[in-house]
Chains A and B, each alone.
Chain A
Amino acid sequence: MTQSHDNPAHKQALTIVGFLCNWCSYGGADTAGVCRFKQPTDLRIIRVPCTGRMDPLFIARSLILGADGVLVSGCHPKDCHYAVGNLYARRRLEVLKRMLPFMGIDGDRFRYTWVSASEGQRWQQVVTEFSEQIRSLGPNPGVTGKSAAAATA
């Protein structure tokens, strides 16, 4: 894997927020760690009990505050620890994804996916791909404040 993105020169701005459900994806990220699957370092993981806990507000707020990307990951459909939480999440997050452009946010800055506790390799792949995607989009110009003003100027 290339380590170029670890170059301190353009280290600063990249912040990717991850919301992971406690039962599957958080475990999957742990599994990836236990297996020493190397990943980009931009992701910061917040543990939630279930993707059903995800209020779309959390994602919108992260992106409005300037996060460069948001990744949500839960149990595979039908594998939810709480039976149906991820199905609710799927509907809500899909709506949110389509709404982001109306808020002036590139929909590609947000992704939701499913990774089980045993899928360490898949987690590595998801993180690597998403980090590269965000890197190619560059830092989030933001929708308010100075950077937005700069963008419209």
Chain B
Amino acid sequence: MRIGVFVCQCGTNIASTVETEAVAREALQHPDVVYATSYMYTCSEPGQQQIQRAIQEENLQGVVVAACSPRMHEPTFRRAVEKAGLNRFMFEMANIREHVSWISNDRQANTRKAAELVHMAVAKLRFNHPLSPSRVAINKRVLVIGGGVAGIQAALDCAEGGLEVVLVERQPSIGGKMAKLDKTFPTIDCSSCILGPKMVDVAQKENIRLYACSEVESVAGYIGNFSVQIRRKATCVDWNLCTGCGLCMEKCPAKKVPDHFNEDLGNTRAIGIPFPQAIPKKATIDKEHCRQFTRGKCGVCKKICPVGAIDYEMEDEFISEDFGAIIVATGFDLFDHSSYGEYGGGRFPDVISGLQYERILSASGPFGGHIQRPSDGRQPRNIVFIACVGSRDASVDRPYCSGVCCMYIAKQAILTRDHLPDSNCYVFYMDIRSPGKNYDEFVRRAQEEYGVNYIRGRVGKIYPKNNHLIVQGADTLLGAQVEVEADLVVLATGVEASAGARELAEKLRISYDQYGFYMESHPKLRPVETNTAGVYLAGVCQGPKDIPSSVAQGSAAAAKVQALFSRDTIETSPQVALVNERACVACGKCIQVCPFGAIQWKELRGGIQKAEVLPSVCQGCGLCNATCPPKAVQLQHCTDNQILAEIDVLCA
């Protein structure tokens, strides 16, 4: 083999602590190396041309580049050598920047180390073989998990492009948290007026199939060919028959059922449609409260339903669907403020969460849009908002900023002053975080036009006194303690990962951070991709964000899917395991260990069984290779001989 070695100086990043010329010189000593040089920026256009020229002029059959991490530029150089006619797998990289020049200033030791890493790369390259990717067909259907605004946007954008979309929503209706909001900042648009039409679009688009009251049960397969099992939870109402007339809801005798859509501020019935604009507009039975289930007899809804849709015996149903891509938009949950003992720990009915106040403000809310206290229905005069409840607080394991609270309290304070001009609004805040278009102006309007009192400091204690709530806090700008006699306290409860987010991540084999938010592929440059190819993220499931950002991510994820589906097939990596049938003893251990079910039995003539790898399913982990007793399974591009070659030149 004729090998060329290219040592990059990376400007001074490498050259300042590694003698790149010496490394190149030493590389010429190794067997098969016929060309070696050092260059200022190997990844640049002229740098790549230099490699390509050398391949042609020196008739190179393999290339080693000693530069930055292969996680950075391996694809770049593989493309470059391919353009010059080499197979892209006849290329190796030695990481002499992240692993050498940046972690020590000892020039002599670094140079030694870089030379050895180059030697190892050369040793491995001598065992490389040209590999070619295979192609598999893409199933051009997309699954969107979660029907909040991000999922709705993703589904609509995909459907707009003509794709077949399945939207799975856990709740009886799509709409997510945005459907519960009264107005949106900073324009004070009516939330349901801007979301409603989108929800209707979802229902009307012929190529969107909506599974509400459903959850993803299991996911198998890989990019282009996922097969997903969906659990349709028993609603006890046949949705094919239900017309959404609401008669059952009117007649249901269980009247004290906490209304989850109204954040438990009011009561609803045990059967019904969660809210008037719900999509799909179908009734669901709440088994926890339905008398037919709790007492074993009632049957009022069954009697009254004009179309006979009620079916108490209904069971969960499982359906299997195949997809080429999955968009995850599972949203978030609100932080539960009962862990704040100093704010009453949930004991005071007039200390409420931000979303509860949103329902109070809403004209379709429990009080018809009139601001009143949950405890006694009295109109509050003094309203205190407390920022950062469950955000930026390590003591409750929520050190991150929820991103939206500063803005939503400003909005709620403005709306409060609009509704009740005689009221006084106080906002206790730590910092105001309003980086968005027209956001800071909006907060200033709350302060200047609407006369909301902003107090910089934390609240230490809330306690009831004479039908008021005494809010004790610090004003850190005045350096004084302040006490406000409040009638209503709104906690700007933060955002946390949705319940069940971790379990879903395990099913999708995507990673999540310590708080349960899904990890994007790259925090800057691949914000909607995950490390599992074909699975994309949108909305708050990836991290706290506001509506415009969620919508943008929904569209971005849809664009990613459209790009993927614009081809009919995809390349699969040829770095997969391969069975040498002569050596295989048919012990079946590889089949047992493979996490992806990528190895199966293959029958040869005469009924002899051998293991066989399905290259399109194999992910290239090499577990089978390490397990195989006679080493008949070898992971291509990372064979035993390649690794041993590296070890041998290093240790011998």
Contact = CB atoms under 8 A, between A and B. Distances in A.
Contact of A33 (B98, B108, B112, B638): B98
B644 A58 contact: yes
A36 interface: yes
Given A36-B102, A38-B105, A85-B595, A49 B650 contact: no
Interface string A1-35: 00100101001000101000011001101101110
Contacts of A50: 621-623
A75 B340 CA distance: 35
B102 A62 contact: no
A100 interface: no
A30 B113 CA distance: 16
Interface in B575-611: 575, 593, 595-596
Contact of B104 (A8, A27, A41, A67): A41
B650 A15 contact: yes
A99 to B, nearest CB: 16
Interface in A28-56: 29-30, 32-34, 36-41, 44-50, 52-55
Interface string B84-105: 0000000000010111101111
A83 B112 CA distance: 37
A83 B635 contact: no
Nearest to B513: A118
A53 B100 CA distance: 25
16 contacts: A8-B108, A11-B108, A15-B650, A17-B647, A27-B71, A30-B69, A30-B98, A41-B104, A46-B643, A49-B621, A52-B621, A53-B638, A55-B626, A61-B647, A65-B647, A65-B652
A148 interface: no
B286 interface: no
B531 A23 contact: yes
A36 B626 contact: no
A30 to B, nearest CB: 4
B106 A41 contact: yes
Interface of B: 69-72, 95, 97-100, 102-106, 108-110, 112-113, 116-117, 120, 509, 511, 531, 575, 593, 595-596, 619-623, 625-627, 635, 638, 640, 643-644, 646-648, 650-652
Interface of A: 3, 6, 8, 11, 15, 17, 22-23, 26-27, 29-30, 32-34, 36-41, 44-50, 52-55, 57-58, 61-62, 65-67, 79, 81-85, 88, 92, 124
Given A30-B69, A49-B575, A82-B595, 17 more contacts: A22-B71, A30-B99, A44-B116, A45-B95, A52-B623, A53-B625, A53-B626, A54-B626, A58-B644, A65-B651, A66-B652, A82-B619, A82-B621, A85-B595, A85-B623, A88-B623, A88-B626
Nearest to A92: B626
Contacts of B648: 65
Contacts of A38: 103-105
Given A33-B103, A46-B643, A53-B635, A81 B650 contact: no
Given A37-B103, A79-B511, A53 B113 contact: no
A79 B513 CA distance: 10
Contact of A44 (B120, B531, B596, B623): B120
Contacts of A39: 103-104
A37 B103 CA distance: 6
Contacts of B622: 48-50, 52-53, 85
A66 B649 CA distance: 11
A30 B70 CA distance: 10
B640 A55 contact: yes
Nearest to A46: B646
A44 B98 contact: no
A33 B113 CA distance: 15
Given A44-B116, A53-B638, A61 B623 contact: no
B650 A17 contact: yes
The 5 A-B pairs with the shortest beta carbon distances in the complex, nearest first, are: A33-B98, A53-B622, A65-B651, A82-B621, A52-B623
B626 to A, nearest CB: 5
Contacts of B627: 88
B252 to A, nearest CB: 44
B118 to A, nearest CB: 11
A66 B638 CA distance: 23
B26 to A, nearest CB: 15
Contacts of B644: 58, 61
Contacts of A6: 104, 106, 108-109
A44 B117 contact: yes
Given A17-B647, A27-B71, A55 B625 contact: yes
B647 A36 contact: no
B621 A41 contact: no
Given A29-B99, A33-B98, A53-B625, A48 B643 contact: yes
Contact of B70 (A15, A23, A44, A47): A47
A81 B650 CA distance: 28
Contact of B509 (A30, A32, A57, A83): A83
A30 B103 CA distance: 10
Contacts of B531: 23, 81
Contacts of A36: 102-103
A62 B99 contact: no
B626 A26 contact: no
A33 B97 contact: yes
Nearest to A3: B106
B623 A53 contact: yes
A62 B635 CA distance: 20
* Residue of A8, A22, A45 with highest tally of chain B CB at under 10 A: A45
A15 B100 CA distance: 15
A92 B104 CA distance: 33
A39 B531 CA distance: 29
Contacts of B623: 50, 52-53, 82, 84-85, 88
B116 to A, nearest CB: 6
B109 A15 contact: no
A17 B626 CA distance: 18
B621 A85 contact: yes
A124 B98 CA distance: 12
A46 to B, nearest CB: 5
Contacts of B647: 17, 46, 58, 61-62, 65, 67
Contacts of B646: 46
Contacts of A67: 647, 650-651
A33 B70 CA distance: 13
Contact of A49 (B70, B116, B593, B620): B620
Contact of A84 (B99, B120, B595, B626): B595
